[in-house]
Structure 1
Amino acid sequence: MKILIIDDEQPTLEMMELLLGAFGHDTLRAENGEAGLSLFTAERPDVVITDVKMPGMDGIEVLSRIKEMNPTTEVIVVTGHGDLDLAVKALNLNATDFIDKPLQRDALEQALKRAEARLEKSRGEANDIEIEHRGDIAVIKIHGNVTSSTAPYLRNAIDEAATKGFQRAVLAFDRHASINGGGISLLDGIIKNGGSQKLMIALAGLAENFRRVLDMVGVSKRTSIHDSVDDALGALRQS
């Protein structure tokens, strides 16, 4: 992929350029938001990685402007550790992902895999959700992106599970799943209401950064969030 890096700190630019090159990507770099937008307009990269806190045009404005120019560009924002409010603001603007400083190789690699999966995704939203039966529990598998447009398909899957007699369900996210602001609101509403059928619901498979966001908005107080489907199944069966 062609990736544009925007950061006002030279050491961060150099480190990301080395890492992205090691991952096999072509890179462009800019030291501020204005220069980044100019490069974006000229080069049209597949992915943009931008720091949030920069002098002049910050990363949130960069994200907003890029999405206006090309809504399908995947944008990963880099935040300071603990800046979850900024992360949520970025997700509300349809950022692909967020990663913390100091940068970790694994976190960067996983964010890029999610961005690549979104770019390669060609099937429609309706095909992104499927139901699997695990004994007396329905496992609703969610592939790809969770956005506000996912709502009718996810709610239909929950209603279908309830119609088939299930009282408990796991929402299982694939390892490259990405959730924007609309998706966070959707999940929060579903957990609060259990869908129209009042299912007991657990979540499984979400990346750590998205789990932190759901924790911040209070979802983890209303349901359990697990690393794997098997862990979620075990928790539901013990409840």
Structure 2
Amino acid sequence: MVATVLVADDDPGVRYALKRLLDASGDYEVIEADGCEAALELAASQKPDVVVTEAAMPKMTAIEYIKALRWACPRAGIVALSAGGMHQSPEFATGLASTAGADEVLRKPARNEPLIEAIDRLLH
């Protein structure tokens, strides 16, 4: 069975790279969101199995955003990615994502193998 993965990042280059990686495996159906609002709408309507998302997106704090994702699709696994932000270190941003309820937290740029392993852990 093919798992649905929502990829959410405000950087189109990151979304493209993640979609290519996941599409190449053949194990996932990938849907994309370009920001937290679109991600929350898709999470609620599509009920993905896993959400792979930038933790620090514009318009919401990492804590608000991850908690809202958890509410929108409570059964989905959440992999939060972060390189930090304008005023945050990567460690601080990933700590916030973990505190907010992300199941897996990876620093950006996430290497392919650890990301796929994190997704697979959440699916099994």
Q: 1:103 is matched with which residue: 68, 85, 110?
A: 110
Unmatched segments (≥5 aa) in structure 1: 118-239
Given that 1:5 and 1:30 are in contact with CA atoms closer than 8 Å, whether structure 2 keeps it comes out as: yes
How much has 1:58 moved relative to structure 2?
A: 4.5
Q: 1:85 is matched with which residue: 76, 79, 92?
A: 92
3-state DSSP class of the match of 1:95?
Answer: coil
Q: What amino acid does structure 1 have at the position aligned with 2:11?
A: E
Given that 2:6 and 2:50 are in contact with CA atoms closer than 8 Å, whether structure 1 keeps it comes out as: yes
What residue in structure 2 maps to residue 76 of structure 1? 79
5 Å-filtered alignment, 1:115-154, equals: 115-117=122-124
TM-score (norm 1): 0.46
Is residue 61 from structure 1 mapped to residue 79 from structure 2 by the alignment? no
Which structure ranks higher in relative contact order (CA pairs < 8 Å, sequence separation ≥ 6)?
Answer: 2
TM-score (norm 2): 0.84
How much has 1:91 moved relative to structure 2?
A: 1.8
Is residue 41 from structure 1 mapped to residue 48 from structure 2 by the alignment? no
What residue in structure 1 maps to residue 19 of structure 2? 17
Given that 1:6 and 1:36 are in contact with CA atoms closer than 8 Å, whether structure 2 keeps it comes out as: yes
3-state DSSP class of the match of 1:114?
Answer: helix
* Inter-CA distance 71–39: structure 2 relative to 1 (3 Å threshold): closer
Given that 1:3 and 1:48 are in contact with CA atoms closer than 8 Å, whether structure 2 keeps it comes out as: yes
Q: What amino acid does structure 2 have at the position aligned with 1:83?
A: P
How much has 1:44 moved relative to structure 2?
A: 0.8
Q: What amino acid does structure 2 have at the position aligned with 1:5?
A: V
What residue in structure 2 maps to residue 141 of structure 1? none
RMSD: 1.7
The whole-number CA distance in structure 2 between the counterparts of 1:6 and 1:43 is 13
The whole-number CA distance in structure 1 between the counterparts of 2:92 and 2:53 is 16
Instruction: State the 4+ residue runs in structure 1 displaced beyond 6 angstroms.
Output: none
The whole-number CA distance in structure 2 between the counterparts of 1:30 and 1:70 is 15
What residue in structure 1 maps to residue 7 of structure 2? 5
Q: What amino acid does structure 1 have at the position aligned with 2:102?
A: A
Given that 2:62 and 2:100 are in contact with CA atoms closer than 8 Å, whether structure 1 keeps it comes out as: no
Given that 2:63 and 2:99 are in contact with CA atoms closer than 8 Å, whether structure 1 keeps it comes out as: no
Given that 1:50 and 1:59 are in contact with CA atoms closer than 8 Å, whether structure 2 keeps it comes out as: no
How much has 1:59 moved relative to structure 2?
A: 4.2
